[in-house]
Amino acid sequence: MQANLEVLEGLARRLDISVPMGQLETEVQNRLKRMARNVRMDGFRPGKAPLSAVARQHGPGVRQEVLAEALQARFGEAVQAHQLKIAGYPRFEPKGAQGEAAAEMTFSASFEVYPEVKIDDLSSGKLSRPVVDLGDADVAKTLEVLQKQRRTFESADRVAVEGDLVKFDYQGTVDGAAFEGGQGEDFAAVLGEGRLLKDFEDSLTGLKAGDSKGFDLTFPADYAAKELAGKTAHFEVQVKDVQAPVLPPVDAEFAKALGVEEGDVEKLKAEVKSNLEREAKRRIQAKLKDQAMELLLEKSTLDLPQSLVAMEAERLMKMTEADMQSRGVQTVKLSADMFTGQAERRVRLGLILAEIVQAHKLVAQPDQVRDLIQDRAQSYEEPDQVVQWYRQSPERMQEIESLALEENVVAWVAGQAQVEDVTTSFEELMGRA
């Protein structure tokens, strides 16, 4: 076998590979003979078709199969001999004349190799690490959210304010004419939840049961109903009922409704705090990770294998299409080119992380993997079943191991860079402040 390596521009390489015709034809004949023993062909009993007939019908396919296997085998040998790290898949093309009398068939295999990754000194890089001290006030706010999720409403003899449930009839016109969706009876909405346009909610605020009011409203330019976008409508509303929210007390019944079987309120508060701590830890880790990845991108130099970028862009496109279909969104025509920028970033980061993991032997430790699974499982009612679900699937375990490796890389970056601890409230951490 002859395999000459040619270094092209950037990461591109080309190998010339020769396949002996005699060896190729011998394997083709051997496979056709084995096939003839069982093949079914019109006009012959199973296994009784002459070899010449089998060769006429199946010879081209078998020859293509044998040639593909031979090329892959010889390409693998050449790659090993030249100690190459292949990125993506090779493209084989015949080289020169391929006459039947030729002693061998020659192909050129074009491909890319993995780049050299250079990571500069990270000591000048800065990371900001949020530090959160969760207290009783944070627990109380979370309990209040849970109370609001289980609220009821009772009629109130007063004007409507934010948070109230208002029931009303309405009639709307544009230029004096009624429009589709512009009339309704016994319509109910909670003020402040954004179900109605803000100007509509503002017009209901301050009214009580039995009140009527007329007002003008201009629809936003990007309103979903295109025929109304940007137009001004006149509405007449008649308020039928104003209901104030009633929050359930934080008591034994409330605790039981949230899964604390004994109805222990203190245990409920402890569980809420534990959940907040777990969520805070995840958010802090995510913020550190984002900063660490940006620092690595800034401090690293490498050429991108375009074959890997193309493969990642195709994968992202198919994932997006599948997600749209699963959500019942009408599928639009997507192109892999739409995902090129995202694919380049992902490939670049993947190569950088792989280099760091290999160079610094940042393996995922069994205890680390176990803790990550346990942490995820605690968010579910049956944690043990979730742990078992992960351990039953090599793919899911691989996902957790990848997360562990990412954590190790973030920790390594934090150890190289300057990390500043910043006192942060839980609300700020969650982006609600």
Q: Where do the domains of the chain lie?
A: 3-113, 126-136+265-429, 152-246
Q: How many CA atoms lie within 13 A of 427 on its CB side?
A: 9
CATH classification number, 3-113, choose in 3.30.360.10, 3.50.50.60, 3.30.70.1050, 3.60.20.10: 3.30.70.1050
State the Cα torsion 246-250-254-260 to the nearest 10°. 160
Length in residues, the chain: 433
Tell me the whole-structure pTM to 2 decimals.
0.76
* pLDDT tens digit sequence for 9-58: 999 999 998 888 888 888 888 888 888 888 888 777 777 778 888 788 88
Highest mean pLDDT among 38-47, 50-59, 71-80, 108-117: 108-117
HEC assignment per residue over 214-283: EEEEECCCCCCCCCCCCCEEEEEEEEEEEEEEECCCCCHHHHHHCCCCCCCHHHHHHHHHHHHHHHHHHH
Q: Which residue has the higher pLDDT, 397 or 105?
A: 397
Measure the CA–CA gap between 230 and 224, rounded to whole angstroms.
11
Measure the CA–CA gap between 406 and 354, rounded to whole angstroms.
10
* Alpha carbon separation from 431 to 36, 143, 345 (Å, rounded): 70, 18, 25
Least confidently predicted of 35-49, 105-119, 236-250, 258-272? 35-49
CATH 1.10.8.60 for the 126-136+265-429 domain, yes or no: no
* pLDDT tens digit sequence for 313-354: 999 999 998 888 888 876 678 899 999 999 999 999 999 999
| Nearest Cα to Cα of residue 169 among 195, 189, 187, 156 | 187
Question: 152-246, what's its fold?
Answer: Chitinase A; domain 3 (3.10.50)
Confidence at 1, pLDDT banded by 50, 70, 90: very low
Cα end-to-end distance, the chain, whole Å: 69
